[in-house]
Amino acid sequence: MSVLIFIDSSEGHVKKASLEVLTYGAKVAEQLGTTAEGVVLGSVTEDLAALGKYGVKKIHHVNDHALDHLDAQVYTNVIAQVAEASGAGVVIFSNNVDGKAIAPRLSVRLKAGLVSGAVALPDTGNGFVVKKNVFSGKAFANIAVSTPVKIIALSPNGYKIQAGEGTAEVVASTATVPAAKVKVTHVIKASGEVPLTEADVVVSGGRGLKGPENWNLVLDLAKELHAATACSRPVADAHWRPHNEHVGQTGIAIAPNLYIAIGISGAIQHLAGVNRSKVIVVINKDPEAPFFKAADYGIVGDAFEVVPQLTAAIKKLKGVA
């Protein structure tokens, strides 16, 4: 009974979220006294054997161009075949966009209990109990999973990446790839150099910036920090910024290492999408803004004065001004 980890990739590159689930999955395997194996779908340019340093012993590679883009139904079918062939007792995903699309389908297919949004290693002392976030991160629930096969979708930033030594054995999987029922005719890529969900640093703006004409404040700071940009919902609703930048309960959930919120009040629906960030910096002119309660660092001040100074200070630090 092995632990199978879904190694998510995009355009041939393994996603950062996968390194987290690899580290986590290897620990789960260690706890259960078994081995960690990975599954990669589609063509990948990276050295998969090198992923062994995160603790995975074997990687099943289904190297078929038909899997280069996510199709949740096809991915579920192929991962189910690999899980069954490898005798997986636990299957692990990141609870990112891809994981959210595949894990519930796989759960139905394998009749496996699923815990999505896990934030800690399972307690295997008495059964199999997994801690997860509930109520937009306001509380935790401990979920006991009793099905023979168990699925965990780990919250992004839910576990620290740890690299050690070792290489993984990469095996060409014999899983068959079913014909897709839907066809992607074209893809429009979101603007921005760094995808929001993968970004280490995110600079985000709210209604406090008054209008789209002032967004250079956010963009200039983001450029200096090689950051992705985000916004609150009213900003996207007012078409100041595109909807793919809207973070929160009804937008994208992100978990960067650093989240800088400018002119955002910190409503619970906004926090729901950003409170997994490692460090939160809030810039707001109102000292009573609720966001300060969730902040690691806060600057009480007018964004129109503070942000240009911050950008200039970063440029100076980098020696470009």
Ligand X SMILES: Cc1cc2nc3c(=O)[nH]c(=O)nc-3n(C[C@H](O)[C@H](O)[C@H](O)COP(=O)(O)OP(=O)(O)OC[C@H]3O[C@@H](n4cnc5c(N)ncnc54)[C@H](O)[C@@H]3O)c2cc1C
- Interface ranges with ligand X (CB under 6 A): 206-208, 232-235, 248-251, 263-265, 267, 269-270, 273, 283-286, 289, 302-304
Task: Please give the C-alpha separations between residue 2 and each of 33, 36, 83, 119, 259, in angstroms, as whole numbers.
Answer: 9, 6, 9, 21, 36
| Separation between Cα atoms, residue 48 and residue 173, nearest integer Å | 14
For ligand X, the closer of residues 56 and 274 by Cβ is 274
Comparison of 280 and 303: residue with beta carbon closer to ligand X: 303
**Which amino acid, 127?**
G
Chain mean position to CA 300: 30
Residue closer to ligand X, measured from CB, 55 or 206: 206
Least spacing, CB of residue 210 vs ligand X, in Å: 7
Rounded to whole angstroms, the Cα distance separating 8 from 98 reads: 8
CA distance 55 to 152: 18
Q: Which is nearer to ligand X, 13 or 210 (CB)?
A: 210
Q: From CA 277, how far away is CA 284, in angstroms rounded?
A: 18
Of 122 and 206, nearer to ligand X (C-beta) is 206
In the complex, the smallest distance separating the C-beta of residue 274 from ligand X, rounded to whole angstroms, is 9
Q: Are 35 and 58 in contact (CB under 8 A)?
A: yes
Least Å distance, CB 229 to ligand X, is 14
Q: Are 26 and 111 in contact (CB under 8 A)?
A: no
Residue 273: CB minimum distance to ligand X, A: 6
Q: Which residue has the CB atom at the shortest distance from ligand X? A: 248
How far apart are CB 213 and ligand X at their closest, in Å? 14
Instruction: Please give the DSSP secondary-structure letter assigned to residue 209.
Output: G
- Complex with ligand X: residue 52 or 251, whichever CB lies closer: 251
Q: How far is the CB of 282 from ligand X (least distance, A)?
A: 9
Instruction: Tell me the C-alpha distance between 68 and 196, whole Å.
Output: 20
129 versus 304: smaller Cβ distance to ligand X: 304
Phi, psi of 80 (to 5 degrees): -60, -40
- Distance separating alpha carbons of residues 198 and 224, to the nearest angstrom: 18
Q: Which is nearer to ligand X, 81 or 284 (CB)?
A: 284
Question: What is the smallest separation between the CB atom of 256 and ligand X, expressed in angstroms?
Answer: 16
Distance CA 38, CA 7 (A): 6
Q: Smallest distance, Å, CB 245 to ligand X?
A: 10
Contacts of 85 (CB under 8 A, 6+ apart): 173, 174, 175
The rounded distance, in Å, linking the Cα atoms of 30 and 176 is 30
